Structure 1
């Protein structure tokens, strides 16, 4: 127990008061000659001084408690500027020191938080992406400088209903903002076409669901990507043309020499080779044309079992269709072409042809068709690029097979996914969203 602790002070005062009381009683007994009278007179005489002493001892503690109560109330209101002067060396003084230290920490944290908020606001305000935050009632609660430059004529939008902002926007932009989905669209601004990507996200802020709209200018990026794509197309086409035209030129010269020498029998081989190279070149050009002119899917209800039986006439595979529905909604010709390409890739993967499988099942609102092989699978880099146009790991590949399959899947609002199998091989999954089947009589 510390000497100057609150407990020590109270103990000292109690001991001193007890000694004083005992001495007073002894003196009064000697004077009055009666213990009872002396004790009663001592109690009456020492009661008021005892109360005054207790008040004196408790008064500083009560004052500090009132000061602490007021300071804590100020902390609750966000005012951390209060501190209390400490003149005590007991537990109450320790409490005051802890209170003052807490105030310093809170002031420092608030200052750091304010600086971070200022930095974040500066970054958000000066980002080239337009950002708009909308509260549940539809009113704009935040819009950065890029958003003001694009919407509402450059004026502040805080407090304005988003419908009013949409009504004054260009038609293409208004249509994208009215939708609840992400979108890529073009709009004319200052006599120039600008392409934007719009993304929308919902999140909770202070327990309420807010909507954030982000508009990103994509014109320059798309232009760079377009140029890069054209360069890649030109390289691929030039490479393929040269691979076919060079032997055709050489064979034509050889054929002319054979004709001049009268060796007509050998001309047949020359003409056959020229025809084969021309046929390959024609197929190559036709493949690119078909990829560029994929028609809009003509979806209809297709009986799955006859469809799968017909597909088995083109390529051998083991069918796993325990959870397959009776009918599915898709463009029969396009999905057949897609699956034929996947089965062709599975045969060319290098694994056992007997191990090629096609699993068909209904999962949620999707029809899932998975083509599996027992080849070596794909590396991570190949998996990341396999669905891109013109990407191929085959020496004679055009890089259009899987790209065309993905194009067909996305035209059906579906998706195509590639993944290596745990026990070896590759699995290509086609997921096609399905409407509710029509009622049958």
Structure 2
């Protein structure tokens, strides 16, 4: 391989000269001044120097002097975009070997460089020529220098391309220049192992590059890890000779190994590793002269195959990463949700079409990059806080270009699990279209409000109509029977009863509509329960019902609103009395926990609450009776809850023989006298 130094003020090679350096045999190093390559020039790393002079004669002279100061003997070619006699004279006067002006004869220049690269003796970094060194030193290092040159040349080929099949074919062509075989085949495992879906290790080894093997044999013949050469080298990596296969670790497989060697017309196999595992093998014949390979040649072959394996692994890893990148991009592109990826510098690394559409960013030119400044402030500000300050924001909603467009935004920072969070950090934003969902919510809310209003109106009308029936009946008879004492008593009773019903219904509606725990004061629980029970008896006109209170000290105090809590217990007692009209005993049992919680259990004389009723009993307007509107337990539940309490309905059992349990926070017991 030839190494050339190209000096030009601009960091690029003119198009007219690219043909000279397109061959993989040449490596071009581009520098803007000679001093940038001072150390490499002094060590003799270059075969020739090309100076592209576009400036003044003085600058050309300075460049040539700098080159000669670094290395005394090196081939120098001066190139100019136009012919200039003064530049030509300056070039030759200051040590240049050739001068060309464009149009430059590229083939002639290439041939001159190839022929002249060995004309000048190479110097070490002290300026001493290698041919002046002692003969013994040269002889001792000749083999090492040759090996290093081979490794250097072949290493350049392995980094020449990311297409591992192409550079493997180029590799064996270059290898033949140093080791004179006439037939070789490179067999590799399938690249499916490197695909997105990880498969088990491939057992088949396919020929990806060959020299001297018939094309039809290459197309149809494979090796396997399970038998023959593939098994021998997979189990015991080494250089395998055809003659040594009879002494292998698998005597029963020697016939298969010999058969494979015979089919390929080869007698030597070398494993190809990536320094972790065997990914393939090389099968080749001996030198064309008929001699045996030396130990140095075999060692060099083994090392070169290892380098080839590393290059193939890197090529496949690059392909896998590229596939992953394309997959992620395709997935994000096909998402109906908007996706935006931000770098730690708030640069937009990726934005899909859905996000552009949501944000009303023109996407007529798909290649145009979107700037952070184009984002609306309602999105840019939370993203800035997440990237710069590491704030973990809850999903939030923003509106789009139209007032009815609603999008939910979720921000996800890129952090490795278990790693310390470093700021700023890359972040991804997902935008979901909630326009239809929000519209459905609004429709559902409107429908729900309409249903509630209709239900309230229906119940209200039903209750008022029931109350008006006896009043209107008495109104029709008032002219005829107003003077009768019996009618007067009936009218008075109807007016009191129905106005009480309307009053109770209006109170229930007020308790549901507004807070019930304002104006709290210290109350004696026994007085609240007794007062509520008496009001319930009066409302129903039930003088036969009795109340039994157990385990409730007289000085048990609670902090509550008197009227609201009394009304709640009244509703509970009304519900208990209506379950079993007539004579019955309603039992109330209380206990106080160490945490200051009062537990009040109530049991009536009825059959108890069925399971289906328990599930709906506290819902507004739910009732199992023909009278009433179904607000009693709903109001009681709301009042007790707003007093930081708890109301629970229970289906009776042997372990829990009660209907309703109420928990309320109590005050400290007052000291007894």
TM-score by length of 1: 0.51
Equivalent in 513, 517, 525 of residue 297 of structure 1:
517
Q: Could you tell me how far apart the structure 1 residues matched to 2:499 and 2:578 are?
A: 22
Matching of residue 390 in structure 1 with residue 390 in structure 2: no
Q: Could you tell me how far apart the structure 2 residues matched to 1:202 and 1:422 are?
A: 51
Residues 467 and 502 in structure 2, CA contact (< 8 A), matched pair in contact too: no
Q: Could you tell me how far apart the structure 1 residues matched to 2:450 and 2:472 are?
A: 31
Task: Indicate the residue corresponding to 2:377 in structure 1.
Answer: 156
Deviations 1:39-88 (A, max 9, x none): xxxxxxx997345335535644553344335644786xxx342xxxxxxx
How many residue pairs were aligned? 314
Equivalent in 209, 228, 247 of residue 451 of structure 2:
228
Q: Could you tell me how far apart the structure 1 residues matched to 2:495 and 2:510 are?
A: 22
Task: Indicate the residue corresponding to 1:173 in structure 2.
Answer: none
Task: Indicate the residue corresponding to 1:16 in structure 2.
Answer: 243
Equivalent in 271, 275, 288 of residue 505 of structure 2:
288
Equivalent in 602, 623, 634 of residue 403 of structure 1:
634
Equivalent in 336, 340, 344 of residue 570 of structure 2:
340
Could you say what the CA RMSD is over the residues aligned between the two structures, in angstroms? 5.7
Matching of residue 3 in structure 1 with residue 228 in structure 2: yes
Distance change (3 Å), C-alpha of 1:307 and 1:286:
same
Equivalence map 1:13-162=2 (5 Å): 13=240, 16-17=243-244, 49-50=294-295, 52-53=297-298, 55-56=300-301, 59-60=304-305, 62-68=307-313, 71-72=316-317, 79-81=321-323, 110=328, 113-114=331-332, 118-121=335-338, 155-160=376-381
Distance change (3 Å), C-alpha of 1:4 and 1:412:
same
Q: CA deviation at 1:286?
A: 0.7
**Uncovered stretches (5+) of structure 2, i.e. residues with no partner:** 1-225, 248-290, 341-354, 361-374, 386-393, 395-409, 422-429, 534-546
Distance change (3 Å), C-alpha of 1:314 and 1:246:
closer
Deviations 1:103-125 (A, max 9, x none): 7xx966x4675367x22339xx9
Q: CA deviation at 1:383?
A: 4.1
Residues 649 and 661 in structure 2, CA contact (< 8 A), matched pair in contact too: yes
**Uncovered stretches (5+) of structure 1, i.e. residues with no partner:** 21-45, 82-102, 126-143, 165-179, 181-200
Residues 517 and 560 in structure 2, CA contact (< 8 A), matched pair in contact too: yes
Q: Could you tell me how far apart the structure 2 residues matched to 1:203 and 1:422 are?
A: 51
Matching of residue 279 in structure 1 with residue 510 in structure 2: no
Residues 645 and 662 in structure 2, CA contact (< 8 A), matched pair in contact too: yes
Q: CA deviation at 1:399?
A: 2.0
**Structure 1 SS opposite 2:618:** coil
Q: Could you tell me how far apart the structure 1 residues matched to 2:561 and 2:625 are?
A: 29
**Structure 1 SS opposite 2:377:** coil
Matching of residue 376 in structure 1 with residue 608 in structure 2: yes
Deviations 1:154-173 (A, max 9, x none): 933234269x9xxxxxxxxx
Q: Could you tell me how far apart the structure 2 residues matched to 1:204 and 1:407 are?
A: 43
Residues 328 and 367 in structure 1, CA contact (< 8 A), matched pair in contact too: no
Deviations 1:112-162 (A, max 9, x none): 75367x22339xx9xxxxxxxxxxxxxxxxxx99x999xxxx933234269
Q: CA deviation at 1:432?
A: 5.3
Distance change (3 Å), C-alpha of 1:251 and 1:347:
closer
Residues 420 and 426 in structure 1, CA contact (< 8 A), matched pair in contact too: yes
Residues 608 and 659 in structure 2, CA contact (< 8 A), matched pair in contact too: no
Equivalence map 1:122-271=2 (5 Å): 155-160=376-381, 223-250=446-473, 253=476, 268=486, 270-271=487-488
Q: Could you tell me how far apart the structure 2 residues matched to 1:19 and 1:272 are?
A: 127
Deviations 1:328-350 (A, max 9, x none): 43223322331232233234344
**Structure 2 SS opposite 1:348:** helix
Distance change (3 Å), C-alpha of 1:341 and 1:240:
closer
Distance change (3 Å), C-alpha of 1:161 and 1:107:
closer
Q: CA deviation at 1:13?
A: 1.8
Matching of residue 311 in structure 1 with residue 529 in structure 2: yes
Residues 532 and 569 in structure 2, CA contact (< 8 A), matched pair in contact too: no
Distance change (3 Å), C-alpha of 1:331 and 1:70:
farther
Q: CA deviation at 1:282?
A: 0.7
